[in-house]
Amino acid sequence: EAGVVQSPRYKIIEKKQPVAFWCNPISGHNTLYWYRQNLGQGPELLIRYENEEAVDDSQLPKDRFSAERLKGVDSTLKIQPAELGDSAVYLCASSSPLYGYTFGSGTRLTVV
Amino acid sequence: GQQVMQIPQYQHVQEGEDFTTYCNSSTTLSNIQWYKQRPGGHPVFLIQLVKSGEVKKQKRLTFQFGEAKKNSSLHITATQTTDVGTYFCVGALRSGTYKYIFGTGTRLKVLA
């Protein structure tokens, strides 16, 4: 089992530029999450998908953030335009009832 | 809103000393999970507790779930330098589907 795969691993962009992150969850995991983690803090939920439906996006800043999971498998998270305060690690996770979350390695975003 | 608090926020121990982190929820949980995040890494699932009063052990780690299913603890016996990292509890609330709430985390440093 490959685990949750995320890319890119690192991204440095200038403010006001767009950026996109990609996630491939564990095969068969219907629930997919995007989290943002700032340094020294716990992960903060941005959006949760059940298959292709976004069932909780209450914490997603919708003016600049968007996400999609068109076929209920891979997902992308986009920020446009990026701001300095968006610098963080963006974690994707999928879950199963017995084994909790499995997180990807994350994408470390630096906005300069 | 629902919150999950962890104490202490930071803990420095000498190698060989014991360590305990406590997790308290404002509401009754369906289950609780524990994760470990090494510096620069992503959270890794350790265990899930479901039953009231449940106690589980993994080598030097002992996990407890309170009788009221509102608190939990993780105890590490005879810490080692490999135990360094941040320990998060994640409380699960079931309302239809599961909603997961991350605790604030306890950062452990082990001094050799």
Summarised one tens digit per residue, pLDDT across range A52-107 is: 999 889 889 999 999 999 888 999 999 999 999 999 999 999 987 777 789 999 99
Burial of B10 (0-12, 13-18, 19+ CB in 10 A): exposed
Cβ–Cβ below 8 Å for A103 and B102: no
Whether residue A2 has pLDDT greater than 90: no
Task: Using an 8 Å CB-CB cutoff, list chain B residues near A42.
Answer: 88, 102-105
B55: tokens are: 């106690």
Residue contact A101–B103, C-beta within 8 A = no
Query: CA-CA distance, A45 to A90, in Å (whole number)?
Result: 10
What local confidence, expressed as pLDDT, does residue B1 receive? Answer: 67
Does residue B10 belong to the interface with chain A, where contact is any CB pair within 8 Å?
A: no
Cβ distance A103 to B88 less than 8 Å, yes or no, reads no
Nearest to B23 by CA among B39, B41, B47, B42: B47
User: Above 80 in pLDDT, residue B98?
Assistant: no
Nearest CA in chain B to A55: B97
DSSP state for residue A82 in the 8-state scheme: -
Question: How many C-beta atoms lie closer than 10 Å to residue A41's C-beta?
Answer: 13
Are B31 and B48 contacting, i.e. CB atoms less than 8 angstroms apart? yes
The whole-number pLDDT of residue B24 equals 96
**Average pLDDT of every residue of chain A:** 92
Mutate to test the interface with B, among A57, A101, A107, A108 (most CBs of B within 10 A): A101
**How far apart, in Å, are the Cα atoms of B108 and each of A40, A73, A88, B82?**
12, 36, 21, 10
Helix, strand, or coil (residue B32): strand
